[in-house]
Structure 1
Amino acid sequence: MTEIKKCMADEMTPVERKMAIEKGEAYDRIPCVPFMGELKGVLSGVSVWDLSHDPEKMAEAEIIPFNRYGYDRMDIGPNSRGITEALGGRVVYPRQGVPYMDVPLLDSYARLETMEPVNAHTNERIQDFAGAAAILEKTALAIVPVEMSIGGPLTIASNLRGVERLLRDCRKKPDDVLRLMRIITDSEKSCIDLAAEYGMGTAMADPVANPALIGPAMYEKFVYPFTKELTDYAYAKTGKKVSLHMCGMTDKIWKYFRKYQLNEVSLDNIVDLEKAALELGEAVPIAGNVDPVEIIKNGTRQEILKAVTDCIDAGLKSEKGYVLASGCDIPETTRPEQIDVFMEAARTYRHNL
């Protein structure tokens, strides 16, 4: 197993930086979390399959990129895909690229009669990720925070039913959808129990819950109560607030974000970050939102430096705090040197920290 190392370019470790910020003390640089996705596997020589199935290689794929870049958080699954599989769904793992859903499991809600919530302590699929968590608890947690991602309940539901059918069902079969969401939420709570045992926080990403797909009224009925339950539960069980990522233009549902127990809300790069910092940042820490494709993957050095500076300038207007991040996962085809520039921009920014 590769040994984890403190980044020599920084005065503090990520854990030390986070503690200083929480105490209102001086810190060395802006906290920074580029969302690495499958790029972690590419950088570590770990296959797409092993990145989600082999505990030792999952841990390696966290440590190797961290040792190069020194960013502020690691994250492991099960993610929405892992919980989907634990509930009986199927995921396709290509030789290269991003895993995707196979044919949805729920051709009929009659299947719910025999579907039980996942027990994270006994489910073989979830235990793959527990193995990685055990390794990182011993090797990494003293230096860098680690979060277990549990995906988002509506996204997991869409994996099991299919996006179009699920959104139609929200109108025509709401009771069935709510039954499904209950099973998923209880499964996610079991995964939160697991995260707590390893001293880890929790992350959620619920891309299907964005207003482009589901309006505010449906969000309030099918997403808000379950996300509120999960964020409250995670904070109570782990002592750490949840990191939430949401795709799309989310300003119509910001009022719900204010009610969650959030470590941060990470925003898509299409969102006006300054607006979010001023309007949402008074209640919730903000993260974001450098364009992962046009800027981080394809941008020149100067374009990356400028985009990072602009985001930090806007994000620091958030009263509750700010984390520099990419607007979504960075493509796995991105040259490693592009991330070096992104991190350099975070380290060279100075604004009375």
Structure 2
Amino acid sequence: MPRHIDQDVHSAFVEFRGDDPSAKCLSVQCIYCQQTRAKNTTRQKQHLLQCAPYLQAHPDVALQISGAASAASAQASQAQAQAQTQANVAVPGQASGDAPADGTYTHDGTVGEHTALTFVPNPRINGTPSQGRPSLGGDGTPAPKRQKTKPTPSNMPEISLQDVHKAFVEFRANETDKCLSARCIYCNQVRAKNTSRQREHLLTCPGYQSILKDKIPANNLRHQFDQDDVASTLALPAPTMDLDFRISIKVKPKLNIGPSPSGRQSWIPCIGGQWAGRWGKGTILSGGHDIQTSVKDTATRIDAQFLLQTNDEHPAQIVLTMKGWLTAERDVMERLQDPVAADNVVAHRYRLRVTLQLETGDERYADVNTGVWVGSGCRRGGEIVYDAYRIS
């Protein structure tokens, strides 16, 4: 932001009382050229605008004066061409001789030993219109308001604050600059040191896009989508899995149905059981069944359906449907077919994995209708036990 002379008008002068002790008024002395002036803010500003040592020490102020002088000269030439005598621009509501609230100052003739000042708006400094006065376009009509553009939502992974800092190198473009700039290490573009703007830049930086794509798990699989495919730019939310309930199903001995087009089929009738979990507990009504189809010696398909009942005063009925697979090595599968030997096979020697679906018409448990579960099970004596994990 350009330096304003108001910042220095008080620090540039030292107050003192003259040789006359009875004098009521203070005087001030310029610390740059040692000249003495009356303690008057307006006169002190006028002095600084002509003080060569001060302007040499503050080139940004000198640049403003030069720019304002050029603007005043251009306005004077235009006024002369239009046969108008008005050469100075007056600020409404400001008395002659008072310093403007903001802007720049120009020389306008000599009055006594000092130079009179006239305020000329400088677009570099006074580009923002005052409140209540709309800015005008080149044709005199009100200029349209600038619309703030929101960044386009991205499906790429979120950029952490730590990654933003790592992506930019800070430097000072000019020794006189008070603010630091930042250069993107991926494309060498320079940006202001502003975290939000830097993060927006990284979302469109081609060099950083490849880094973001590597953070998408699907792009690290053995086989991947093409680089220009939209699927390679999507960061999808990863589901979580939480243990939701356990179910223990009491069954009768297996009934071998015999071979079928899909494999050897067996029926396992349900005679009861119980369940308990986060959202309730209850029993399993008899009448359900577990249909198992052995498609080969190492794999058996599971297709089961049971009816759960809650322990409420007015119980609710929930239909449980399970589909999945029982897989293991051949010798383990043979032992699982023997009711006595099956109890001696530890659960980690085989994989009994199922998907579960719950359905009910009771409004108290309507939430289960849209749930998704996966289960892990084992066989123990006359029971089959499953842990159901809810996918969120």
Q: TM-score range by the shorter chain?
A: under 0.3
Higher percent of residues as strand: 2
**TM-score, normalised via structure 2 length:** 0.20
* Higher RCO, 1 vs 2 (CA within 8 Å, ≥6 residues apart): 1
**TM-score, normalised via structure 1 length:** 0.22
Higher percent of residues as helix: 1
